[in-house]
Amino acid sequence: MGTILIADRDQTERFGIRWFIQSNRIHFDRVSEAGNLKDAVEYIKMYKPDVVCIELEMVPPQHMRDIALLLRQYARWTICLTAEPVYERALQAIDFHGRSLLVKPLSPEQLKRSLLQASRQYSRKSQTDTILPAPDIVHSHFFIPHPLYERNYSLIVLRPEETRHLSTLYNWIEQYAFPHLVKHFALQHDVVCVLKIPKEQEKAVLQQEGQRILERWVSDHPHCRLSLAVHPSSVPAASIHDMYTRTADMFKLSFFKGLQQLFWVDENVIFNPVDPFLTPEEQREWMTMLDDGDKHAVKEWLYRRFTSFQNPYPDPELIRVRLTSVLAQLRRFMKTYHLDRKEDTETRYHDIFQTILSAPVLFSIVQEVVLFVFDLIDEANKQKEQSTTNVIERGLRYIEQNYRTPRLRLQDVAEHVNMSPSYYSHLLTKATGQSFRQILKSVRLKHAKKLLAESTWTVQEITEHVGFTDANYFSRIFKEATGETPREYRQKKSKKSKEK
């Protein structure tokens, strides 16, 4: 795999680079160190390392030419380090035939890229001794079946949560130190790595590398989750196309199990058909839950039917269709309460629809549907309250406009607001604390008081004007309400008016 010499006067820098190489599994057979120029020169002459990682400040000006000649003669790849990002150091790196110039404090990303480039350059020969050349497999092999004459290929297929991250993933994989790699490809939804691993190591290597990729990726890209599927060479396949198709199918499991998972083709997974539509009974159940505003029942229904699947799993696409059947019931509910006329609610409905169609994990879809249903129930309750208030106000206005009608009935008011008399009576009493008769009597007495105080009409005339038919009955209920007869009330108001 090659050898590397780390030549730096700072022991912590040397240790840090050594640790970085080991922790990132960048492949060098031997990693050596030199803390001064003399030791570095002796090591280079004796061992001729493939890669020299050298601190430029270690080399005094009078030795620049000699060290440049030494590196050109013995080192195949030079990485230059400096704490001074100035023009002179760049010229010095050029003289040393440096492939990269890294400025301290070292950027882990830049250091990794430089070391990987060096490692791959000098590990290629040893790898090709045991692996078929990369041109053996090309893009078309993943889409068109070609006979697989070699039966010892393994696949690791990587799928990001969103396809917009595919190019980032591909570039990241290019910098990843893959053991036994033949080639990697970017396809429509995935990055595919083709490997050729000795059979006795295959399962351990695939498991170890799969977990390491997941851990490294989430560390480098915490906002984009990843899933991996593995097809070991031990699982029979007729072609690379066959291997890829079966491996990509394993991502259906992430719909039920979530992302950041490692799936194996040798798992015995069966996807069964299910009825994607709600039964008439389930439709009625949904409308009852929604009309009752029963959030607990809604949540329990969705969780019970969509979050407890086990192998054999239902086909994910049919589950998506079934969720759109639920969405159809929500649409009916929205139209009942005119919630579809609210722009933000309508927009969210379409967003939920797209989530059901494309979100990669079932549980997250269910969560979004639950929250959306809760908000719809809250909005519908507000509409009900507003509707009730509007109905009460319309009824009260009708009473105010028609109180003079002697035979004004509750049924007349209820018909005006398109409700049954009994239900409207219930709403009216609940909203005002008074019955229809009490409200009508209060309105008539209010207007009678005004006429007694401001007009010269007789009590009989006022009685008839405000909707009563019997002056004696009017006088009796007037006294019950005010403690005075109509004449006493008029005399008192007239006296107060004269005093002013």
Q: How far apart are CA 425 and CA 436, in angstroms?
A: 7
Residue 424: count of CB within 10 angstroms of its CB? 22
449 lies in which domain range?
Answer: 403-499
Q: What's the pLDDT at 66? A: 86
Q: For residue 160, name the pLDDT band (cuts at 50, 70, 90).
A: very high
The 3-class secondary structure across the chain, one letter per residue, is: CCEEEEECCCHHHHHHHHHHHHHCCCCCCEEEEECCHHHHHHHHHHHCCCEEEEEHHHCCHHHHHHHHHHHHHHCCEEEEEECCCCHHHHHHHHHCCEEEEEECCCCHHHHHHHHHHHHHHHHHHHHHCCCCCHHHCCHHHHCCCCCCCCCCCEEEEEEECCHHHHHHHHHHHHCCCCCCEEEEEECCCCEEEEECCCCCCHHHHHHHHHHHHHHHHHHHCCCCCEEEEEECCCCCCCCHHHHHHHHHHHHHHHHHHCCCCEEECCCCCCEECCCCCCCHHHHHHHHHHHHHCCHHHHHHHHHHHHCCCCCCEECHHHHHHHHHHHHHHHHHHHHHCCHHHCHHHHHHHHHHHHHHHHCCCHHHHHHHHHHHHHHHHHHHHHHHHHHHHHHHHHHHHHHHHHCCCCCCCHHHHHHHCCCCHHHHHHHHHHHHCCCHHHHHHHHHHHHHHHHHHHCCCCHHHHHHHCCCCCHHHHHHHHHHHHCCCHHHHHHHHHHHHHHC
What does the pLDDT average to over 336-349?
91
Tell whether 329 and 305 lie within a shared domain.
Answer: yes
pLDDT greater than 80 at residue 134: no
Tell whether 370 and 408 lie within a shared domain.
Answer: no
What does the pLDDT average to over 264-279?
84
- CATH number of residue 250's parent domain: 3.30.70.270
Tell whether 210 and 239 lie within a shared domain.
Answer: yes
| Model pLDDT for residues 473-495, shown as the tens digit of each residue | 999 999 999 999 999 999 988 87
Tell whether 118 and 28 lie within a shared domain.
Answer: yes
Q: How far apart are CA 463 and CA 486, in angstroms?
A: 10
- CATH number of residue 460's parent domain: 1.10.10.60
Considering the domain boundaries, does residue 226 fall inside one?
Answer: yes
Tell whether 23 and 89 lie within a shared domain.
Answer: yes
Considering the domain boundaries, does residue 300 fall inside one?
Answer: yes
Q: What's the pLDDT at 133? A: 43
Q: Any residues with CB less than 8 A from the CB of 215 and at least 6 apart, and which?
A: none
Considering the domain boundaries, does residue 39 fall inside one?
Answer: yes
Q: 126, 143, 158: which is the final residue of a domain?
A: 126
Q: For residue 33, name the pLDDT band (cuts at 50, 70, 90).
A: very high
Q: What's the pLDDT at 461? A: 94
Tell whether 140 and 229 lie within a shared domain.
Answer: yes
Tell whether 207 and 84 lie within a shared domain.
Answer: no
Q: What's the pLDDT at 7? A: 95
pLDDT greater than 90 at residue 327: yes
Tell whether 151 and 231 lie within a shared domain.
Answer: yes
pLDDT greater than 50 at residue 500: yes
Considering the domain boundaries, does residue 388 fall inside one?
Answer: no
75: region left, alpha or beta (phi > 0 left; psi from -120 to 50 alpha): beta
Tell whether 260 and 326 lie within a shared domain.
Answer: no
Tell whether 18 and 112 lie within a shared domain.
Answer: yes
Q: What's the pLDDT at 125? A: 44
| Model pLDDT for residues 93-113, shown as the tens digit of each residue | 888 888 899 999 999 999 998
**Average per-residue pLDDT in the chain?**
89
Q: How many structural domains are present in the chain?
A: 4
Q: For residue 498, name the pLDDT band (cuts at 50, 70, 90).
A: low
pLDDT greater than 80 at residue 127: no
Q: 63, 91, 126: which is the final residue of a domain?
A: 126
Q: For residue 130, name the pLDDT band (cuts at 50, 70, 90).
A: very low
Q: What's the pLDDT at 123? A: 57
Q: What's the pLDDT at 168? A: 94
pLDDT greater than 60 at residue 129: no
Q: Any residues with CB less than 8 A from the CB of 333 and at least 6 apart, and which?
A: 287, 290, 291, 339, 376, 380
Contact 247, 231 (CB under 8 A): yes
What does the pLDDT average to over 128-145?
66
Considering the domain boundaries, does residue 398 fall inside one?
Answer: no
Q: 210, 238, 268: which is the final residue of a domain?
A: 268
Considering the domain boundaries, does residue 348 fall inside one?
Answer: yes
Q: For residue 122, name the pLDDT band (cuts at 50, 70, 90).
A: low
- CATH number of residue 112's parent domain: 3.40.50.2300
| Model pLDDT for residues 65-93, shown as the tens digit of each residue | 889 888 877 888 999 999 988 888 888 88
Tell whether 12 and 122 lie within a shared domain.
Answer: yes
Q: How far apart are CA 371 and CA 356, in angstroms?
A: 14
Tell whether 232 and 305 lie within a shared domain.
Answer: no
pLDDT greater than 60 at residue 126: no
Q: For residue 471, name the pLDDT band (cuts at 50, 70, 90).
A: very high
Q: What's the pLDDT at 304? A: 93
Percent of the chain with pLDDT over 70: 95
Considering the domain boundaries, does residue 389 fall inside one?
Answer: no
Considering the domain boundaries, does residue 360 fall inside one?
Answer: yes
Q: How far apart are CA 239 and CA 233, in angstroms?
A: 11
Q: How far apart are CA 58 and CA 7, in angstroms?
A: 8
| Model pLDDT for residues 433-461, shown as the tens digit of each residue | 999 999 999 999 999 999 999 999 999 99
